[in-house]
Amino acid sequence: MSDIAERVKKIVVEHLGVEAAQVKEDAKFIDDLGADSLDTVELVMAFEEEFGIEIPDDAAEKIQTVGDAIGFIKSNAK
Amino acid sequence: MFDLTGKTALVTGASGGIGGAIARALHRQGATVTLSGTRAEALEALKAELGERTHVIAARMDDPAEIDRLAKEAEAAMGKLDILVNNAGITRDNISMRMKDEEWEKVLQVNLTGTFRLTRAAMRGMMKRRFGRVINITSIVGVTGNPGQANYAAAKAGLIGMSKSLAQELASRAITVNCVAPGFIATPMTDVLTDDQKKGILARVPADRLGTPEEIAAGVVYLASDEAAYVTGQTLHINGGMAMI
């Protein structure tokens, strides 16, 4: 499932309107990619939809970087 | 103006006087309506009256599981939820010296906490679709206070503060959150007042009459409409001039 990272990055690019080059694994959604707190909620919702998973609130709070998202989805996607 | 064709609405407390009028008015403007409340018979009767584009989901607002179920089932029944009218409310009047903890807590739980829970559950879909109307039915007494209603006034004032906060959180997603604050309206809730009490109230109402549920519903229709897209965090007072705030 190596395409998980690509799919995550694509969602981030589309949702936040940032350049793909900015979406590095250590990029923080809020500090580096200009997301506001609602954007982060919406990103989590978009990931849930794309990968058919549920991301509980306490896990969602820990997803702060692109890499965090990829890591969570890799270990939880079916 | 105020055409709601293609829109979907959930009205809580739809078995009551004001809630029923709100549901009728939204339906008349073209919206699909889900009626919620605790009295299933009254809800079914209203559904029979309205005909097509109407669903019934009975639910208790003091039970978190029921509230989550209501939000889910309403979305499932209508395909989406555009307009949420939080109208469900109860009173347990008593002077504060005599007010029991249960009376205080029950009113806060249904009128304020229940409204927050249902709104939170409905927000997700509204955020995704970049459209939403949340209309909370508060009360004049939430702003002016009323002896014997410390619990009710606190809950209704709480709704106003909550609505302003949600309005700021959600404005960028084209979701508006507003309140409608009725004054004294002729409903079963005010029918129990004695003639002397009514006289005393009318002495304070420049319009010199009780309001009608339809006059409250008209305010809700406006706030639900596309025309009101730039109105958020506001409280629309409909009270015959009883308080001008």
B41-70 tens-digit pLDDT? 999 999 999 999 999 999 999 999 999 999
Q: In the predicted model, is pLDDT for residue B34 greater than 60? A: yes
pLDDT digits (tens, 9 = 90+) for B142-195: 999 999 999 999 999 999 999 999 999 999 999 999 999 999 999 877 788 788
Q: CA A1, CA A51: separation in Å to the nearest integer?
A: 11
Residue in B128, B169, B170 closest to A45 by CB: B128
Mean pLDDT of B100-110: 97
For residue B199, the model assigns a pLDDT of 86
Angle between helices B114-129 and B150-170 (to 10 degrees): 20
Lowest mean pLDDT of A48-62, B5-19, B69-83, B104-118, name the range.
A48-62
Q: What torsion do the CA atoms of B214, B217, B222, B223 make, to the nearest 10 degrees?
A: 160
Mean pLDDT of B130-145: 97
Contact residues for B126 (Cβ-Cβ < 8 A; gap 6+): B81, B82, B132, B134, B170, B173, B175
Mean pLDDT of A14-24: 92
Percent of chain B topping pLDDT 90: 92
Question: DSSP class of residue B161?
Answer: H
Mapped onto helix, strand or coil, the DSSP state of residue A75 is helix
Q: pTM of the full predicted structure?
A: 0.91
For residue B86, the model assigns a pLDDT of 98
Q: B4 is written with which tokens?
A: 């709601």
Partners of residue A41 in chain B, C-beta under 8 Å: 127
Range list of H helices, chain B = 17-28, 40-50, 64-78, 101-108, 114-129, 141-144, 150-170, 188-191, 195-202, 213-224
For residue B188, the model assigns a pLDDT of 79
For residue A78, the model assigns a pLDDT of 67
Percent of chain B topping pLDDT 70: 100
Contact B172 A41 (CB under 8 A): no
Q: In the predicted model, is pLDDT for residue A1 greater than 70? A: no
Nearest-neighbour CA in chain A from B54: distance (Å): 29
Nearest-neighbour CA in chain B from A46: distance (Å): 9
For residue A37, the model assigns a pLDDT of 87
- Measured between CA atoms, the residue of chain A closest to residue B127 is A42
Q: In the predicted model, is pLDDT for residue B28 greater than 90? A: yes
Establish if B128 touches chain A: CB-CB under 8 angstroms: yes
What radius of gyration, in Å, describes the C-alpha atoms of chain A?
11
Q: Which of A36, A39, A57, A58 is catalytic?
A: A36
Contact A38 B169 (CB under 8 A): yes
Percent of chain A topping pLDDT 90: 82
pLDDT digits (tens, 9 = 90+) for B116-132: 999 999 998 999 899 99
Q: CA A14, CA B183: separation in Å to the nearest integer?
A: 47
Question: DSSP class of residue B13?
Answer: T
User: Do residues B70 and B118 lie in contact, with contact meaning Cβ atoms separated by under 8 Å?
Assistant: yes
For residue B201, the model assigns a pLDDT of 85
The 3-class secondary structure across B92-130, one letter per residue, is: CCCCHHHCCHHHHHHHHHHHHHHHHHHHHHHHHHHHHHC
Contact A38 B124 (CB under 8 A): no
Partners of residue B169 in chain A, C-beta under 8 Å: 38
Q: Are strands B32-37 and B8-11 parallel, antiparallel or unpaired?
A: parallel
For residue B193, the model assigns a pLDDT of 79
Among this protein's residues, is A32 annotated catalytic?
Answer: no
For residue B174, the model assigns a pLDDT of 96
For residue A2, the model assigns a pLDDT of 62
Q: What is the amino acid identity at position B147?
A: P
- Measured between CA atoms, the residue of chain A closest to residue B166 is A38
Q: Provide the pLDDT confidence category of residue B211 given band limits of 50, 70 and 90.
A: very high
Task: Indicate which residues of B carry an active-site annotation.
Answer: 152
**Among candidate residues B191, B189, B231, B224, the one with its CA nearest the CA of residue B86:** B224
Nearest-neighbour CA in chain B from A4: distance (Å): 22
Nearest-neighbour CA in chain B from A37: distance (Å): 9
Partners of residue B167 in chain A, C-beta under 8 Å: none
Q: In the predicted model, is pLDDT for residue B206 greater than 70? A: yes
- Interface probe with A: pick from B128, B166, B177, most Cβ of A within 10 Å: B128
